[in-house]
């Protein structure tokens, strides 16, 4: 009768990213030459804030041939960013009859995956560039809100629009969600008029500010996200951060930096001695300006259109099935073959 396997213990997890982690554990020396397979039981912790939009409904019981430890577990198809998981391991010896001799399960440990790294955002940027369309001229940034919002800014905030924490709209792994403070602006114009649309999902009062006040050669421009909400419309989030500002320092290590004069989304270039601004026609741009904005630098007025609440992106969840705006598995390097199989019974 073959000797039983010891139970794995002292699990260590490190090098955690949005779609991978490195794992090791201890086992008896006599098992090292015998073990042929590892079984990993990976489970997402459900809570009220968990991301319920998994990319695919796949098993979380993973089987791999034994390799030297530590080993990397990588899989965008079963790991979501910013998500808490629990993991336990079991070792096994595949016998000549095809059955497995298995150890007991290790203790369970917990960890949380990280945000998208720059290489993931770079792929989202490339996907967004493919559908951005031609560039249209514009001259103002605008922010729509209810009248009370602007009254509060005048009365209680020294006539300033103060930055606030970005919500969790867009990609679940965006480094800006719940982390970056800013004031949201729009810049999209109507194709036939070249002016901002008269409808808005956010309120009937609009603050307009000349584009050069927020976007000029002293501003850094970052790509932050690309998403949709189960509709044909696609959104790109860009960050406008004055060079050297706190927002600029936050973005520098986390987001791809764009050339303000030459990119597919939003440009500021000098033509005949004048600053000229253009935006992508086929994307709805959401712009985060990272500093307070003085209301005296622009104009405030009521728009004549409708309040289209269905177009609001407040805390909007990204469609995980859209092939246009989701991360591709081809981005991920291969670290061995993982097979989703039912675990052997003890």
* Neighbour count for residue 201 (Cβ, 10 Å): 14
pLDDT per residue as tens, the chain (346 positions): 567 899 999 999 999 999 899 999 999 988 888 999 999 999 988 654 444 434 343 446 788 899 999 999 987 667 889 999 999 999 999 998 889 999 999 999 999 999 999 999 999 999 999 999 999 999 999 999 999 999 999 999 999 999 999 998 889 899 999 999 999 999 999 887 888 888 888 888 999 999 999 999 999 999 999 999 888 889 999 999 999 999 999 999 999 999 999 999 999 999 999 999 999 999 999 999 999 999 999 999 998 866 555 455 565 678 888 999 988 754 443 333 444 444 443 3
DSSP 175-226: TTTTT-EEEEEB----TTTSS--S-BSS-SEEEEEEHHHHSSTTEEEEEEEE
* Neighbour count for residue 15 (Cβ, 10 Å): 10
Q: Tell me how far apart the alpha carbons of residues 227 and 316 are, in angstroms, rounded to a whole number.
A: 10
């Amino acid at each position: 009768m073959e000797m039983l396997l010891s139970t794995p213990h002292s699990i260590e997890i490190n090098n955690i990213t949005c779609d991978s982690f490195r794992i090791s554990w201890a086992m008896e020396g006599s098992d090292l030459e015998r073990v042929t397979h590892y079984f990993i039981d990976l489970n997402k912790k459900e809570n009220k804030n968990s991301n319920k939009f998994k990319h695919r409904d796949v098993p979380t019981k993973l089987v791999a041939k034994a390799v030297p430890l530590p080993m990397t577990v990588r899989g965008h198809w079963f790991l979501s960013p910013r998500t808490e998981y629990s993991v336990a391991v079991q070792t096994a010896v595949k016998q000549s009859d095809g059955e497995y001799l298995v150890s007991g399960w290790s203790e369970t440990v917990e960890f949380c995956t990280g945000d998208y790294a720059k290489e993931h955002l770079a792929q989202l940027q490339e996907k967004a560039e493919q559908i951005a369309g031609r560039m249209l001229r514009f001259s103002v940034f605008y922010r729509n809100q209810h009248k009370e919002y602007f009254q509060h800014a005048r009365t209680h905030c020294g006539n300033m629009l103060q930055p606030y924490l970005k919500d969790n709209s867009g990609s679940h792994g965006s480094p800006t969600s719940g982390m970056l403070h800013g004031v949201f602006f729009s810049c999209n114009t109507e194709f036939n008029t070249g002016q901002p649309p008269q409808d808005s999902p956010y309120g009937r009062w609009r603050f307009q500010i000349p584009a050069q006040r927020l976007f000029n050669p002293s501003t850094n421009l970052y790509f932050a996200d690309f998403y949709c909400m189960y509709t044909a419309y696609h959104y790109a989030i860009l960050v406008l951060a004055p060079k050297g500002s706190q927002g600029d320092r936050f973005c520098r290590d986390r987001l791809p930096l764009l050339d303000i004069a030459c990119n597919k989304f939003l440009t500021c270039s000098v033509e005949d001695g004048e600053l000229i601004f253009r935006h992508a026609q086929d994307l709805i741009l959401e712009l985060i300006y990272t500093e307070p904005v003085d209301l005296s630098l622009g104009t405030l007025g009521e728009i004549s259109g409708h309040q289209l609440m269905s177009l609001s992106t407040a805390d909007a969840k990204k469609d995980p099935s859209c092939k246009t705006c989701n991360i591709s598995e081809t981005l991920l390097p291969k670290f061995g073959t993982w097979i989703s199989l039912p675990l052997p019974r003890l």
